[in-house]
A and B are shown apart, each in its own frame.
Chain A
Amino acid sequence: MKTMFVQEAIRHGAAAAERQPGKFDPGETIIHHVANSPASDPLIHLPTIAGIDFSVTKHVLMLWVVAAIVFIVVSWTVRRYLKQERLVPKGFMNALEFVVEFVRDEITEPNVGRKWVNTWTPLILTFFIFILVANGIGLIPIFDLIGLTDYYVLRTGEHSFLKQVLHGGTTATANFNVTAALATITFGAIIVAGSMAHGFVKHWKNMVPHGLNPFIYVILIPIEILGMFVRPFALTMRLAANMTGGHIAILAILSFVFLFAEMFGRATAGIGVGLVVSVPLAVLISMLEILVVLIQAYVFTLLTAVFIGMAIHVHH
């Protein structure tokens, strides 16, 4: 995250030294580093099938990267572990086993119950690891390093694939569409869980309390239906907003450097503000971000487990 600003600073400093500086626009820079790359100019062009454009933008690419990393690392670790003579987990397998046990015993079982724990742990574990890795990759400045290498070493052309990849944010879970898709899976899982535990018709009947005045049902049923949609929506908004918000905070604080440099018309002012205010604050917020990455993955999975548990254990 810092390297790309170094890059901006170099470009900006060069511009400032030559003539009057071209105005630094913090809003545009921040959006450039947080939002998805434009759909009109995708990284990989794919045909439109049934009205859906399958072209690959930055966030889709990041989804693939995350999926590949999770798939390769987890299956490689587990296969190597199974080949051992004595089944004693060590190294990374130990950590993986700790995560699996944590999700099973601390997130899934208290909410879903012992009977269904083996049914729902795989889904919730997948959510947890996927969100954790996707969030975590957003904190690693891979593309900023690529950009820096490109700027100094490779010097590829204006429309090269490398230059295109640099547009847009790295965190796939900061995109509302991604989290909405995840929450849709939760939405489906809630219905499936209720149907598996009570049967399809009983699940829908369970949603409202029994034996009340018929007049109350007229109010209650619409409210319940709305509530059914609101829960996944809350999941969607929280994850995406948290991931976007943290990045915007870091970028906004770092952009002080350029704003002050511009305001006083010299680079020393910017560097001074950067050393005293921006960099320490950004480091602190980055630490907070590491925490947020963990907590958001945890909260998403916990709430999924809670909602599935609510469909299984109906109290009225």
Chain B
Amino acid sequence: MAKNEDPFFARSAKALQNNAEQAGPAAGASYTLIGAIMLLGAIGYGIDRWRGTSPWFLLGGLLLGIVVGMYELARTVWKR
């Protein structure tokens, strides 16, 4: 594929590919961090709406989201 391409272009494409590969787990962790906060925050908000206990479950959900997200992040970071 990269035979008749400019070696500079081929090299930079390769470097980009390597970066993307190494960034994979990190991207997973970052999305999980945000996803956890959003999901658990939304669940907390839903419980608040349902039971009328605003804002305690929302706050609890957000905090739990941060804990879960940070745990996933820590697992990814300290694994290797």
Contact = CB atoms under 8 A, between A and B. Distances in A.
A299 interface: yes
A227 B36 contact: yes
Given A230-B35, A234-B34, A306-B25, A98 B72 contact: no
Contacts of B72: 227, 230-231
Interface string A270-302: 000000000000000000000000000011001
Interface of B is mostly: helix
B2 to A, nearest CB: 11
A223 B68 contact: yes
Interface of A: 98, 106, 110-111, 223, 226-227, 229-231, 233-235, 237-238, 298-299, 302-303, 305-307, 310, 315
Interface of B: 1, 17, 20-21, 24-25, 27-28, 31-32, 34-36, 38-40, 64, 67-69, 71-72, 79-80
Contacts of B27: 299, 302-303
B32 A230 contact: yes
B16 to A, nearest CB: 11
Contacts of A237: 35, 38
Contacts of B25: 306, 310
Given A227-B71, A230-B69, A315-B80, 6 more contacts: A226-B68, A231-B32, A234-B35, A235-B35, A237-B38, A307-B28
A98 to B, nearest CB: 7
